[in-house]
């Protein structure tokens, strides 16, 4: 069904039902009928405004694709979401048309359904206005607005005030495949019930029990669920999300997952002591480089890993490896049994970095699909349990992943691996760590991995706006407020300790305020007496106050000042001393340069690395006349008063239209931190000479993922510097589908497929050429994506096979 047919069907079904329900019924049924008529009239109004915009986007969004065989970018995703919303409206409208005369027809329920989709359509209309702004500013095939002020700041400001509850109630997950909607509804109900009981109980069992008993009302009332979901996502800090995402780490759930997943012979948790060791250089095996243990932020500590292997292989039951094992309780992690056959070492090894927004989860949450991969690929898998933010922000996770990679190279005989081929694989935050670990390996001059597989990776951690990131307004798994908190925690901008929410009464509040008031009076009186006794104090006080460290100030006042500085409407802070940034935040680069500088055989890498400000990930600055003419019909300029005007917040939307506003403003704290612009933090900002040393990269992205544009732009950058790269785009699945892979066994093969095509660059890496991926997309009925983790495992197998 093309665009014109979709809109024609919307007009037809709305007009027919409006004519039927405008008969003037009285009573409760009459009120519900009037609500239904008003909703359908408003849907037609939104549709008339959206129709030319959708047609305009459909004519230009191909300019932003990776290549003609992989039609995917944020503009396409927005149009797809709008079309999906319209199709749901058509489906619901036709249901009303067929059943409206039945005695079992509930007018109020169906009016609520149409109102929910009408609200969603209104908010999508607002997002398309912002997307048209991006078309105006990014007119050369680029998807990111490379500035954290202006348009990016406008998007954050609009997100904080726009209503989002409609996407979490009746319309939850409407843009995804129907098979996943029950799973998303279960997650949403569990989230709001968990949030209601969060901090009311000290034990996890108490929270789980209370959440179970209070979840019923959210299952019955979708509007209540949507409002509570919006409140939680906007106001609770990163520690809440760490606690919620780590529910799968509990002993009960992890035991259930272990029983239902593939059984493996080896499942050993390892604790590697932080001991420095030497590795030979890739360019000169006679020379070596010292790999220092991780030390950032929390000091020296053992690096946690997990070894998984479907078959018992040589070295995996050695005394040396068993001495590194840590006890987890429960079942024995190494299943030898009687007369277990010991296979020879595998020529391949997968090193896995888990996702979780840099703040949550461990390898246990990802065990089900890792065990399946170990069986299907016949290789051991080493998953790294890196330290998490905000307690251990950047670069701690990168240091531990790099140390684990080097340790695996040096101790391959303990892992059931011959040391021949090694591939890095990770999802979300783990995909970022796969790329940055390879970049650091190149900087150290050690052996590079033979390939990288990154699933929906977070490649750019800045607050730059892009069309796919507009989807954070409606994404139930990755809202912008949650995403910003995770990235702030990784950058070191979130408090390491959880905010204490005390159960206060009115009397305790009065006591606290009285104590603060008396303290201020006492401090003011003391200062007044000292000023009388010391005539020089008045002149010296300004300098003294300026030199006073911020730690000595009142914590309440400090929090207020920090809130004002971190406001999305305030100018980003500028460091007063440029030397502080490389000393603390860029410790990865400085340490790398210092280590490499001590070895004369690799002096080329001891030169200072380029700062992020010297890097521009724009792919082209030349204006394509044909492309500019196409975009001019859709793109809209900035609103009046934004450039050269004194207006603080100009109007973002045209006169006569205003999106729905939320009753609770989001507590957005998107800061312009220099840390997130570090190439080892945001690989998309890395200079070309750092990316040219990467091994072949295979990226798996989701068409409806807010991080889609990260993958598309990174693939474009690698292709432009002739780096081997492939990009696969999965339809109709959300961010994090690997962790939800057990829920997808019932997928229809006609609804979800894997689009894949290698770039023009050949695969020259030792893992072999990916000739099976070249040519036409994998869209035949013989390769349905019934279970995404298994399909990705097949892709891994293709990447690892020799020609």
The yes-or-no answer on residue 559 being catalytic is no
| Other Cβ atoms closer than 10 A to 774 | 15
Q: Which of 317, 595, 678, 705 is catalytic?
A: 705
CA distance 116 to 500: 36
Q: Which of 152, 374, 428, 759 is catalytic?
A: 428
Strand partners, 454: 426, 699
| Other Cβ atoms closer than 10 A to 234 | 20
Count of helices and strands (H, E) across the chain: 24, 11
Q: How far is CA 211 from CA 194, 208, 584, 697, in A?
A: 5, 5, 42, 42
The yes-or-no answer on residue 722 being catalytic is no
Residue 417 zone, left/alpha/beta (φ > 0; ψ -120 to 50; rest):
beta
Strand partners, 451: 423
CA angle 459, 605, 348 (to 5 degrees): 60
Q: Which of 481, 735, 739, 753 is catalytic?
A: 735
Nearest to 235 by CA among 661, 660, 665, 672: 665
The yes-or-no answer on residue 91 being catalytic is no
Phi, psi at 256, each rounded to 5°: -65, -45
CA distance 616 to 280: 34
The rounded Cα 677 to chain-centroid distance in angstroms is: 17
Structural element, H or E, at residue 138: none
CA distance 717 to 710: 11
Coil/strand/helix, residue 292: coil
Pair 136, 636: CB distance under 8 Å: yes
Phi, psi at 384, each rounded to 5°: -100, 125
Does residue 395 have a cis bond before it (omega within 30 degrees)? yes
> What end-to-end distance do the CA atoms of the chain give, in Å?
42
The DSSP output letter for 673 is: -
For residue 692, what are its two tokens?
């040219």
Buried b (16+ CB within 10 A) or exposed e, 132-144: bbbbebbbbbbbb
Pair 480, 159: CB distance under 8 Å: yes
For residue 580, what are its two tokens?
């502080």
| Other Cβ atoms closer than 10 A to 452 | 25
Active-site residue set: 428, 705, 735
């Amino acid at each position: 069904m093309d665009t014109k047919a979709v809109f024609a069907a919307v007009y037809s079904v709305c007009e027919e039902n409006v004519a039927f329900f405008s008969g003037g019924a009285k009573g409760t049924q009459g009120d519900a009928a009037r609500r239904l008529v008003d909703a359908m009239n408003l849907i037609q109004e939104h549709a008339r405004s959206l129709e030319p915009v959708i047609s305009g986007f459909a004519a230009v969004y191909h300019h932003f694709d990776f290549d003609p065989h992989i039609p995917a970018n944020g503009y396409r995703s927005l149009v797809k979401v709008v079309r999906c919303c319209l199709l749901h409206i058509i489906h619901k409208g036709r249901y009303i048309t067929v059943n409206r005369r039945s005695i079992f027809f509930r007018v109020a329920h169906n009016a609520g359904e149409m109102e929910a989709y009408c609200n969603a359509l209104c908010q999508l209309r607002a997002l398309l206005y912002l997307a048209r702004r991006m078309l105006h500013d990014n007119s050369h095939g680029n998807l990111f607005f490379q500035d954290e002020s202006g348009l990016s700041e406008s998007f954050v400001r609009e997100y904080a005030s726009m209503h989002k509850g409609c996407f979490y109630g009746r319309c939850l997950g409407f843009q995804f495949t129907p098979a996943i909607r029950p799973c998303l509804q279960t997650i949403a109900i569990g989230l709001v019930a968990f949030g209601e009981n969060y901090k009311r109980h000290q034990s996890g069992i108490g929270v789980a029990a209370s959440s179970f008993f209070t979840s019923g009302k959210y299952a019955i009332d979708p509007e209540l669920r949507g409002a509570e979901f919006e409140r939680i996502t906007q106001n609770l800090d990163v520690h809440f999300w760490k606690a919620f995402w780590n529910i799968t780490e509990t002993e009960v759930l992890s035991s259930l997952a272990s029983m239902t997943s593939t059984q493996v012979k080896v499942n050993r948790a390892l604790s590697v002591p932080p001991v420095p060791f030497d590795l030979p250089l890739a360019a000169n095996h006679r020379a070596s480089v010292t790999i220092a243990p991780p030390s950032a932020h929390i000091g020296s500590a053992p690096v946690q890993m997990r070894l998984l292997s479907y078959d018992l292989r040589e070295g995996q039951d050695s005394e040396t490896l068993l001495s590194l094992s840590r006890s987890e309780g429960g079942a024995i992690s190494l299943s030898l049994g009687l007369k277990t056959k010991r296979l020879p070492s595998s020529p391949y090894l997968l090193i896995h970095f888990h996702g979780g927004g840099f703040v949550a989860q461990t390898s246990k949450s990802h065990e089900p699909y890792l065990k399946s991969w170990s069986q299907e690929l016949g290789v051991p898998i080493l998953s790294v349990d890196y330290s998490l933010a905000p307690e251990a922000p950047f670069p701690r996770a990168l240091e531990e992943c790099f140390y684990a990679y080097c340790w695996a190279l040096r101790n391959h005989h303990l892992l059931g691996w011959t040391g021949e081929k090694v591939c890095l694989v990770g999802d979300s935050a783990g995909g970022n760590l796969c790329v940055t670990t390879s970049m650091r390996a190149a900087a150290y001059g050690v052996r590079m991995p033979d390939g990288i597989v990154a699933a929906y990776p977070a490649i750019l951690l800045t607050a730059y706006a892009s069309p796919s990131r507009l989807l954070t307004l409606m994404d139930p798994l990755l809202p912008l407020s949650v995403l910003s908190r995770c990235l702030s925690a990784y950058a070191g901008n979130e408090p390491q300790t959880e905010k204490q929410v005390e159960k206060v009464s009115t009397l305790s509040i009065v006591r606290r305020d009285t104590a603060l008031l008396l303290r201020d009076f006492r401090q003011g009186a003391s200062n007044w007496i000292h000023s009388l006794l010391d005539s020089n104090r008045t002149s010296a006080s300004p300098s003294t106050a300026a030199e006073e460290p911020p730690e000595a100030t009142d914590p309440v006042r400090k929090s207020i000042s920090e809130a004002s500085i971190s406001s999305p409407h305030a100018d980003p802070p500028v460091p007063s001393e440029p030397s502080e940034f490389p000393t603390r935040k860029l410790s990865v680069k400085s340490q790398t340069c210092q280590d490499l500088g001590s070895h004369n055989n690799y002096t080329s890498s001891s030169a200072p690395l380029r700062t992020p400000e010297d890097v521009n990930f724009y792919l082209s600055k030349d204006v394509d006349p044909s492309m500019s003419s196409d975009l001019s019909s859709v793109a809209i300029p900035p609103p009046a008063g934004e450039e050269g005007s004194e207006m603080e917040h100009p109007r973002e939307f045209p006169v006569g239209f205003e999106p729905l506003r939320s009753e609770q403003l989001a507590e957005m704290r998107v800061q312009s931190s220099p840390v997130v612009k570090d190439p080892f933090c945001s690989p998309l900002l890395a200079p070309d000479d750092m990316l040219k040393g990467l091994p072949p990269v295979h990226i798996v992205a989701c068409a409806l993922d807010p991080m889609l544009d990260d993958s598309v732009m990174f693939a474009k950058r690698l292709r432009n510097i002739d780096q081997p790269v492939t990009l696969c785009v999965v339809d109709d699945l959300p961010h994090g589908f690997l962790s939800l892979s057990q829920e997808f066994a019932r997928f229809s093969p006609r609804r979800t497929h894997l689009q894949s095509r290698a770039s023009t660059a050949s695969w020259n890496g030792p893992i072999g050429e990916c000739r099976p991926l070249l040519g036409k997309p994998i869209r035949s009925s013989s390769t349905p994506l019934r279970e995404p983790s298994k399909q990705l495992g097949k892709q891994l197998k293709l990447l690892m096979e020799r020609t």
